[in-house]
Structures are given as C-alpha cells and as structure tokens.
Amino acid sequence: MADNDGAQVAGLIEELSGSSRRRRQEVAHQLALVAKAHPGLMLSYVDALVDALYRPEAQTRWEVLDALSAIAEENADAVAEAYDGAEASLFDDGSATVRLSAFVFLCRLGASTPERSDMVWPVLDEAIQCYHGDAEYRDMLAALIGLARGSASEATRKALADRVAFDAENGAGYIKTFSAEILQALE
C-alpha cells in the first residue's frame, strides 16, 4: 500500500460520521473493499467502525460489518468490541443483508477462540432458529462452516452439531448438504 492510502482511509473514516446518509453508505462500501484487500490497514480505525454500527441506514451497517469480518480473519482481538453492535444488527427487522453480515462477523469472531465461541453461540443459535430457510440461510450455513473449522470450544462444537444434526440427516437440498459439511468440519 502506498503511504497516502493511510491518509485516504483516514479521510473516509471521517466521512463515515458525516451528516449525509448517501455519503456514509458510499464511504462504508469503500472501507469494506479496503478491509477485504488490506485488513491490517484498518486496525487503527476499528473504534470508528464500531461506532458506525449504530448509523440508521442499513447499507452503512452491513458494509461496516463486512469490513469488521475481514479484519476479524486477521486479528479478531482488534474487533471484539464490535460484539454488541453486531448482536443488535443480527436481529435487524428491516434488512436481511444486515442480519447476514452480522451473522458472518459473529461466526468469524467466534471461530477465533473457545471463549469467544461460547460468547457468540447463544445469539447465533437463536438466529439459526429465527432465519432457518430464509433467503440468507444458505450463506449463514456457509459461515457456520468457518465456525466449525475454527477454535470453537467443545461446548460450542457440541451445541452446533446438535443444532444441525437433524437437517444433516433429514433435510433437503443445500440445507442438508451444508449441515452435513458442518458436522464433517466438527469431527
């Protein structure tokens, strides 16, 4: 990354708290792209990203959650404070995209340590029950594979296996396939 990239990111971060809804959405999208390509560049700005989880517009929140998910893959410790905002977003009544982005973030956070898996599992389990079969459920199952392959605790691993076992045996289509893959990842 060039030296001025840090300055450009700092400028975008500043606009993330601006008064223009449209500009916050555009900036959040740009920041998500930067985080996916260079998550380390975003480490200094995690507090501002966490703050942006409370913006009123859905797109800003899902883009920020996507940025935090990218950072979590590299340094989950740096984004652990985003848990509360992600949990609130997980049950957003107005946006399935926000809910999915929150679910993915929480799975990545939970995959980082056994303690974090125990912290995120109850809300992930609730979301699985709430959104089972919804349009975003396929991507939720894909995120659960990451949790299963991560550093989840034995209690979380068992609870996850119990949650998907029925679908792995009796489900159909992608639900059966992904559920079986989750069980396989837990072995």
What is the DSSP code (8-state) at residue 98? H
Helices and strands in the chain, H and E counts: 10, 0
pLDDT of 6 reads 77
pLDDT of 2 reads 47
Mind listing the pLDDT tens digit for each residue in 48-64?
999 999 999 999 999 99
pLDDT of 4 reads 61
7 pLDDT higher than 90? no
pLDDT of 1 reads 44
Are 108 and 69 contacting, i.e. CB atoms less than 8 angstroms apart?
yes
Residue position matching structure tokens 């059966």: 176
Are 161 and 168 contacting, i.e. CB atoms less than 8 angstroms apart?
no
C-alpha to C-alpha distance for 186 and 159, rounded to whole angstroms: 11
What is the DSSP code (8-state) at residue 41? G
Instruction: Give the mean pLDDT of the chain.
Output: 96
C-alpha to C-alpha distance for 144 and 155, rounded to whole angstroms: 15
Domain ranges (residues) in the chain: 1-94, 111-187
